[in-house]
Amino acid sequence: METEENITFKITGNDMRNLRKFRKQHKNCPQVTACDQFNYSFTPTGLGLAISVKCSCGQELMLGDFMDYDSGK
């Protein structure tokens, strides 16, 4: 018997505000089909979660709590 495992990633808080701004800035960029304008990549690291959002125009937005890491604390 197989069990189904689910992994869920969420974008919240300041990251969500930055994503909304990025998407608004790129609303007129080209897309081939209805849902391929943005590519989302979620990468768990030892420092936190790295989130990359890439527009079809090539510009990339980096999000995630890994950017809040301070090795001095």
pLDDT single digits (tens) 29-59: 887 776 788 999 999 888 888 999 999 899 9
**How do residues 20-30 score in pLDDT, each as one tens digit?**
999 999 988 88
pTM above 0.95, yes or no: no
3-state secondary structure of 49: strand
Boundaries of every domain in the chain: 13-68
Q: How far apart are CA 24 and CA 39, in angstroms?
A: 15
